[in-house]
Amino acid sequence: MNELDSLVESATQLFAQSATPADLENAKAQFLGKSGRVTELMKGMAQLSVEEKKSRGAAINVAKQAIEAALTARRQALADAELQVQLKAEALDVSLPGRQRGQGGLHPVSLTLERIQGIFGSMGFDVAEGPEIETDWFNFTALNTPEDHPARSMHDTFYVEGGTATAPNLLRTHTSPMQIRHAVQHVKKHRALIDAGQAMPEIRVIAPGRTYRVDSDATHSPMFHQCEGLWVGENVSFKDLKVIFTAFCRTFFESDDLVLRFRPSFFPFTEPSAEIDIQFQTGPLAGRWLEVAGSGQVHPNVVRNMGLDPEKYIGFAFGMGPDRLTMLRYGVNDLRLFFDGDIRFLSQFQ
Ligand code: PHE
């Protein structure tokens, strides 16, 4: 190997050993810098003849170009390596799911309430809402529930501190107070008509909302939902209640052969009263009677408390449990699941 070849080789080796661009620039200076070895060789040609300069110069140039090529290659290799490191550090896993804004959805009981409102709305029922903190009067007394009635005992009612006989003093135990509240408003609005002996537009309303009782197990929650229904007019009958409630249940459960049973019962504010049971003919619950609502003809004392003459006006009322309807519709057997707030459970209903 001649002197120039070994020069090229040692330059190439030194470049290869340079681990950083700065090292590489230092190595370059040793060969191509002002006092580098190639420059020294050029200077060394001063004493040569013109002929010798020509051939020697050409040979040095070849070596110089080889060194420059090695330098360029090493520069590129270092830059590539640096780029690789950077790419690796900033790597994006494009297969990861994006950061999504979780899509919210309605609670299963809210879905049921919307469903109830939609169905009764299509049958001409308004929707009314009322306070959850009630007075004795609306929750009990106006509903023909005397002061010594068992339903008033501390046993199942949450009383609110600081309430009085006229100021709100309890958490409503049912949505039935809305019978009185809504009817009183309706009667007030049509007082002139009523006093003139003309027909009052019928009351047809449902009142969904939260209700409270001191009760807690797999099928009872201290907070639960009810939906009241009230239909008052001059010519309403039990048959009408049966027709609309049957239509409601069949639509709600999307089951045309669903059967209803009105089972005699007792409520202070209705007489006669009936528990409404339903029975599916197909599916996992087929053949069992399932209680879904209380109902009855509005008691004359309650009609009077609405501001109407019970000799002229007759009313029918029902109160159903949307929580229970939701459990039956989706086959859920523990009511508490609805109120635990576990998103894994709740998101199944979207
Ligand atoms: N309020 C009754 C209850 O909570 C249900 C009901 C409503 C019964 C309307 C008759 C009429 O059990």
Q: Could you tell me the residue ranges of all domains in the chain?
A: 3-89, 108-349
Query: Which atom of ligand 1 approaches the CA of 211 most closely?
Result: 4
Ligand 1 probe mutation, 174, 206, 220, 277, most atoms within 8 A of CB: 174
Coil, strand, or helix at residue 90? coil
Q: Does residue 215 or residue 204 have the better pLDDT? A: 204
Query: Which atom of ligand 1 approaches the CA of 293 most closely?
Result: 5
CA–chain centroid gap for 206, Å, is 25
Give me the DSSP letters along 98-148: P---PPP---HHHHHHHHHHHHHHHTT-EE----SEE-HHHHTGGGT--TT
pLDDT digits (tens, 9 = 90+) for 308-334: 999 999 999 999 999 999 999 999 999
- Which residue ranges have their beta carbon within 6 Å of ligand 1? 174, 176, 267, 270, 273, 294-296, 317-319
Q: Name the residue at shortest CA distance from atom 9 of ligand 1.
A: 318
For residue 295, report the distance from its CA to the centre of ligand 1, in Å. 6
Answer yes or no: is pLDDT of 195 > 60: yes
Mean per-residue pLDDT for 17-42? 91
Q: Name the residue at shortest CA distance from atom 4 of ligand 1.
A: 174
- Reading the block at residue 334, the tokens are 């523990």
Answer yes or no: is pLDDT of 132 > 80: yes
> HSE-up of 186 (CA within 13 Å, CB side)?
24
Please give the pLDDT value at position 167.
84
Nearest in space to 175 (alpha carbons), one of 298, 300, 321: 321
For residue 273, report the distance from its CA to the centre of ligand 1, in Å. 9
Please give the pLDDT value at position 148.
81
Please give the pLDDT value at position 94.
86
Q: Does residue 147 or residue 24 have the better pLDDT? A: 24
Answer yes or no: is pLDDT of 42 > 90: no
Residue with tokens 């009990």: 140
Q: What are residue 146's phi and psi, to 5 degrees? A: -65, 165
Q: Which amino acid is at 252?
A: F
Strands 290-298 and 126-127: unpaired
pLDDT digits (tens, 9 = 90+) for 173-192: 999 999 999 999 999 999 99
Residues in Cβ contact with 176 at an 8 Å cutoff, skipping those fewer than 6 apart: 139, 143, 228, 269, 317, 319
Mean pLDDT of the chain: 92
Answer yes or no: is pLDDT of 49 > 90: no
Ligand 1 probe mutation, 176, 224, 238, 270, most atoms within 8 A of CB: 176
Strands 223-233 and 133-134: unpaired
For residue 253, report the distance from its CA to the centre of ligand 1, in Å. 21
Q: Is the pTM here over 0.85, yes or no?
A: no
For residue 176, report the distance from its CA to the centre of ligand 1, in Å. 6
Ligand 1 probe mutation, 149, 211, 262, 269, most atoms within 8 A of CB: 269
Instruction: Decide: 312 and 153 in contact? Cβ < 8 Å.
Output: no
For residue 180, report the distance from its CA to the centre of ligand 1, in Å. 13
**Polymer length in residues for the chain:** 350
Query: Which atom of ligand 1 approaches the CA of 230 most closely?
Result: 9
**Whole-angstrom Cα distance, residue 227 to residue 176?**
9
- Reading the block at residue 328, the tokens are 């039956």
pLDDT digits (tens, 9 = 90+) for 249-265: 999 999 999 999 999 99
282: which DSSP letter? S
Instruction: Decide: 299 and 270 in contact? Cβ < 8 Å.
Output: yes
Coil, strand, or helix at residue 18? coil
Ligand 1 probe mutation, 267, 270, 277, 320, most atoms within 8 A of CB: 267
Please give the pLDDT value at position 232.
98
- Reading the block at residue 245, the tokens are 């409630």
Query: Which atom of ligand 1 approaches the CA of 175 most closely?
Result: 1
Q: Which stretch of DSSP H or E encloses residue 187?
A: helix 177-189
Instruction: Decide: 233 and 202 in contact? Cβ < 8 Å.
Output: yes
Please give the pLDDT value at position 1.
65
Q: Which residues pair with 124 in a beta bridge?
A: none
Please give the pLDDT value at position 93.
85
Nearest in space to 202 (alpha carbons), one of 99, 126, 119: 126
Answer yes or no: is pLDDT of 155 > 60: no
Instruction: Decide: 176 and 228 in contact? Cβ < 8 Å.
Output: yes
Quickly state the pLDDT bin for 231 (edges 50, 70, 90): very high
For 2, 62, 68, 71, 333, the CA distances from 59, given in Å and listed in that order, are 11, 5, 14, 18, 95
Q: Name the residue at shortest CA distance from atom 12 of ligand 1.
A: 294
Quickly state the pLDDT bin for 164 (edges 50, 70, 90): confident
Q: Percent of the chain scored above 90 by pLDDT?
A: 76
pLDDT digits (tens, 9 = 90+) for 261-302: 999 999 999 999 999 999 999 999 999 999 999 999 999 999
For residue 79, report the distance from its CA to the centre of ligand 1, in Å. 81
Please give the pLDDT value at position 274.
97
For 267, 293, 321, the CA distances from 182, given in Å and listed in that order, are 19, 20, 20
Quickly state the pLDDT bin for 151 (edges 50, 70, 90): low
Please give the pLDDT value at position 140.
93
For residue 102, report the distance from its CA to the centre of ligand 1, in Å. 39
Residues in Cβ contact with 250 at an 8 Å cutoff, skipping those fewer than 6 apart: 256, 258
The domain 108-349 is classified under which CATH number: 3.30.930.10, 3.90.1150.10, 3.40.47.10, 3.40.1170.10?
3.30.930.10
Neighbours of 251 (CB within 10 A): 18
Please give the pLDDT value at position 138.
95
